[in-house]
Every structure is written in C-alpha cells, then in structure tokens.
Amino acid sequence: KNEVEQSPQNLTAQEGEFITINCSYSVGISALHWLQQHPGGGIVSLFMLSSGKKKHGRLIATINIQEKHSSLHITASHPRDSAVYICAVPTGGTSYGKLTFGQGTILTVHP
C-alpha cells in the first residue's frame, strides 16, 4: 500500500461543477501539501496545511489529522482548472525536504 493515496485518478467535469479530490495517507505528518501540475511539468504549490481548512479563491483544502485524510475542493470549476492535482506529505524525518507524493488526479473541465 502506498503511503499516500489519491482518488479519483481521473476526473472529468463540466464547467461550473463542484470538484472534490481526496487524499489519504498512512504516516504521521506535520503538514500536507496540495500541488498543481500543468502539462509541460511545472509544479505550483496550492496549499500547505496542518489542520482545519484553508481557502484561496475558488480552492478550498481541508485536513483531518486524526483520520489521516485531506480533500481539495474546487468551486465553480473552469476549463483553466484542468491540470494534475497532487497531494504530498513530508516523510523524511529530519530530511524535511523529502516529500512523498500521491499518484495525482487528472482533472479535465469541459466548457
């Protein structure tokens, strides 16, 4: 079993729909990252959170540390939201730069 599991692997939506991507992890963590990767490769950090909820524009991230589960929500989805969304957790102990990544969720939003 992977340390970080995401679901779904692929998600197709119509513009305006509410999107939810889930992430479960099996290790104790201090924080969890949500990242966005567009075709071409560059990764953008969306959120880093250790408890509760964070909101940025139409993006909302929540985490439940006890249940080892996090969700990323996109409200009023738009075609420009189409990308791969990845959750990642630090698993390196003192090597805190070591992130273990989920396999990613490929989101396609149609107009």
Tell me, what amino acid is at 10?
N
Which residues does residue 84 pair with via DSSP β-bridges, in sequence order?
Answer: 37, 106
State how far the Cα of 65 lies from the Cα of 22, in Å rounded to an integer. Answer: 14
Q: Give min distance, CB of 14 to other proteins, in A.
A: 25
98 near other proteins, judged by CB under 8 A: yes
Would you say 4 and 88 are in contact if contact means Cβ atoms under 8 Å apart? yes
Q: What is the total count of residues that contact other proteins (CB under 8 A)? A: 27
Q: Which one of residues 41, 66, 80, 111 is an interface residue with other proteins (CB under 8 A)?
A: 41
The burial class, CB within 10 Å (0-12 / 13-18 / 19+), for 88 is buried
Residue 60 binds to other proteins (criterion: CB under 8 A): no
Choose the stretch contacting other proteins; rule: CB under 8 A; options: 14-22, 57-65, 66-74, 85-93: 85-93
Alpha-carbon distance 49 to 38, whole Å? Answer: 22
* Residue 31 binds to other proteins (criterion: CB under 8 A): yes
Q: Which residues would be at the binding site for other proteins (CB under 8 A)?
A: 30-31, 33, 35, 40-45, 48, 86, 88, 90, 92-104
